Structure 1
Amino acid sequence: MRLTAMYVGAVLGPGVLVLPALAADAAGPASVLAWAALLALSVPIAVSFARLGERHRGGVVGFVRIAYGRPAARPVAWWFYLVGVPFGVLGGALVGGRYIAYGLGGGDPVLIGVVLLAAAFVANYAGVRVSAGAQVLLVGLLAALLAVAVACGVPHVSRADFEPFAPHGWLSVGHAAVVLFFAFSGWEAASTLADEFGDVRRATRRTLAVVTVLYLGLAVTTAGTTSDVPLADLLERAFGPSARPVTAVAATLLTFGAINTYLAGGARLGGRHGLTGLLVLCALLTAVTLRLHVELDALMRVASTALAAVTAAGLAAAVKLLRSRTAAFALGCTALVLAFSGVLLAVPVVIGAAALVSARISARVGARVSARGGSAAPAGRSSS
């Protein structure tokens, strides 16, 4: 059960606090179809990564390196480090800021979010990590909140909440799926847990069951919402104004825990100065976001597109390493989600191209250095 809790924690996060509202803005009540489609897609994705984790090590970047070589793995690392983490943690922090401000009855959500993000960096520099036990506790808290919110919200769901069902057309379901992908971008976690725990496949099945119930319930109960804090509204409907402080505390713990974990993982991927690099990237992104008044929806969509590209790369590795039709099917569906990203697809394309060029330049420089070293050795021996 501990492994299941850790796996659920890799999938659930602060994104679920606001993604129902963003998806509803994109597709109206028809966003429930995007939730259902992504849940169905989660099955082959989760199975593929679980099987990869049983046979190979190194996470998604390691899988791509084994399957296609070191140069091909560099774009995957860049997508996660340069885009997925900075946009994801800033978006998550702003989500937490919204809920905390709501729970406290006032305050600047953006300022609160920036403070949360800064606190997570301080904690990482100090070497503070969220322990496995604390992570399990936070996951249990989030799951309990979602379950209570869904149970209390279901009796209030009416037919009117689903009319009109697709106000922005049927293609809007695909656009909703893009932003929702952020809530499904944790299935590759099984690949890193396989080295430490036993039956990853059983934990995968349990996680799929838990996430399916919670996500579909949340999608149905928030189908007609126009609120920026849908989960808080559901809890307040159940418990009245007394639910606000609970919401603020829960949002703080969940957001900080998720951001702290993302930064720790990104810092390891970035190498010796990985955390400092992330600090610079997040500071620049925050400044641009505040200066240009970038919407939360845009931040989440960019992060989702980058994480979808990472998932697609991992599935492509699974196709080659496992010779799996399941992985091939999941890869095709993930590519379809990426296609609905529209112009945002340029982000992973440009970053990936830059990474490949960088890998080629590094290889050439390394070859020249090796050649010079090789030619210098004989000269040294002859002069002696």
Structure 2
Amino acid sequence: MKLTAMYVGAVLGPGVLVLPALATEAAGPASLLAWAALLALSVPVAVSFTRLGERHRGGVAGFVRTAFGDRAARPVAWWFYLVGVPFGVLGGALVGGRYVAHALGGGDPALIGVLLPAAAFAANYAGLRVSARAQVLLVGLLAVLLVVAIAANVPHVAPDDFQPFAPNGWLAVGHAAVVLFFAFSGWEAAGNLADEFGDPRRATRRTLVVVAVLYLGLAVTTAGTTSNVPLADLLGRAFGPSARPVVAVAAALLTFGAINTYLAGGARLGGRHGLTGLLVLCGVLTAVTLRLHVELDTLMRVASTALAAVTAAGLAAAVTLLRSRSAAFALACTTLVPAFSGVLLAVPLVIAVAAPAIARVGRRVSARVSARAGSAVRAGRSSS
């Protein structure tokens, strides 16, 4: 049950708060096709990562290392650690902050958003097992809220909500898929945790069912909306005047759950000081984003592009290590996501080229931190 909660927390993240609106803005009701395609793609992706996690250690970077060697694994680790996690954490936090502020009728969304990852960092510093137990409760409450919201709004769905179906053309479905990929990219984060808990296959099956029901329900009930807070509207119809605190709770749960899992998985890639490194990266990115007023859509697309590259690398390893046709099919489909990313494709490409230099810098920083920590310990012993 703990692993299922971690999986659901990673895949069913804060993206459901805003991605329906961003996808509809990109492709109109035709974004439903992107939702359906990515749900179908989730099955071979999830199965491939589960089978890899059962046979090999080290998460996606470890799978790639086993299949192709250290040189290929380095950029994969940095795609996830340097880009996927920080941009995903910040994007999710800002979405959660926006919803909580909307639900409370005021407040600074950015300040609220910063508090959410702070709580997730504290949970992970307390220990993975502690945060996993908390996530079982959080995911259960979240699923109930979403089911109630969907059930209450399905009767209000009308044919007119889907007209015109593709106002921006059919290619726009591909652009919608890029931003939506963020909502389906938790498998590579959860894959880093598979060896911490038992029975990953059962957890995968449960997660696929939960995600399919909730995502399709949200996609259908929000297809015709132009609201920036579509889930708030759904919960408003379901709970009436009492919806505001419910929306605040749902937003906080969604955001915390996803950030918690991404930090837990990313910290393992960073080694001894992985979690502290992520804290620094997220802090710097937050300062730059607020200073330059970077759009939320841009943050989501950068994270999606990097995570698509990570997923594609993991699937390539699955093709080699598992001799899996389903993994080969999933790999072919996944590579279409970066193809629609435009100039953002430069992000994983630049990191891939710079990976050796980044690794050298990381080793030097880690050595200095360790040396200073050792000096502090020795000084403490001598003074006592």
Quick one: distance in 2 between partners of 1:126 and 1:134?
12
SS at structure 2 position matched to 1:308 = helix
Deviation at 1:348, TM superposition (A): 0.6
Deviation, 1:203, is 3.1
Q: 1:152 to 1:78 in 2, by over 3 A?
A: same
- Name the CA shift for 1:110/1:357 in 2 (closer, same or farther; >3 Å): closer
The Cα offsets for residues 184-241 of structure 1, whole Å up to 9 and x where unpaired, read as 1122356455535554333323322221111111001000111121111101111112
Match of 1:77 in 2: 77
CA distance in 1, matches of 2:193, 2:82: 24
How far apart, in 2, do the equivalents of 1:230 and 1:313 lie?
Answer: 33
C-alpha distance 189-257 of structure 1, shift in aligned 2 (>3 A): closer
Amino acid at match of 2:224: G
- 1:154 is matched with 154
Residue 57 of structure 1 deviates from its aligned partner by 1.5
Cα deviation for residue 145 of structure 1 reads 1.6
**Partner residue of 1:349?**
349
Q: How many angstroms apart in 1 are the aligned matches of 2:275 and 2:8?
A: 26
The answer to whether the 8 Å contact 1:54/1:191 transfers is no
Given the alignment of the two structures, is residue 95 of structure 1 paired with residue 85 of structure 2, yes or no?
A: no
Identity %: 84
User: Does 1:110 pair with 2:83?
Assistant: no
Q: Is 1:253–2:283 an aligned residue pair?
A: no
Normalised to the residue count of structure 2, the TM-score between the two structures is 0.88
Tell me if the contact between 2:75 and 2:355 (Cα under 8 Å) persists in the aligned partners. Answer: yes
Amino acid at match of 1:250: A
Tell me what 1:227 maps to: 227
The residue type paired with residue 188 of structure 1 is: E
Aligned equivalents of 2:89 and 2:130: distance in 1? 16
**TM-superposition CA deviations, 1:342-375 (whole Å, max 9, x none):** 1111111111111145569999xxxxxxxxxxxx
RMSD over aligned Cα atoms? 2.3
Given that residues 135 and 257 in structure 1 are in contact (C-alpha distance below 8 angstroms), is that contact kept between their aligned partners in structure 2?
yes
2:312 pairs with 1:312: yes
What amino acid does structure 2 have at the position aligned with 1:10?
A
Q: Distance in 2 between matches of 1:362 and 1:16?
A: 34
SS of the equivalent of 2:195 reads coil
Go from structure 1 to structure 2 and tell me whether the alpha carbon gap of 1:118 and 1:187 turns closer, same or farther (over 3 Å shift). Answer: closer
The SS at the match of 2:186 is: coil
Contact 1:123 1:129 in 2 (8 A): no
CA distance in 2, matches of 1:194, 1:117: 23
Q: Classify the secondary structure of the residue corresponding to 2:107.
A: coil
Which amino acid letter does the alignment assign opposite residue 11 of structure 1?
V
Q: Which one is further off, 347-356 or 2-11?
A: 2-11
Larger radius of gyration between Structure 1 and Structure 2: 1
Seen in structure 2, the aligned counterparts of structure 1 residues 214 and 356 have a Cα distance that, compared at 3 Å, is same
- 2-structure distance, mates of 1:281, 1:191: 22
Whole-Å separation in 2 of the counterparts to 1:52 and 1:99: 37
Number of equivalences: 363
Q: What residue identity is the alignment partner of 1:89? A: V
Most deviating of 122-131 and 273-282: 122-131
Matches within 5 A, 1:110-189: 110-125=110-125, 130-188=130-188
State the TM-score, normalizing by the size of structure 1.
Answer: 0.88
Q: Matched residues in 2 for 1:143 and 1:118: separation? A: 23
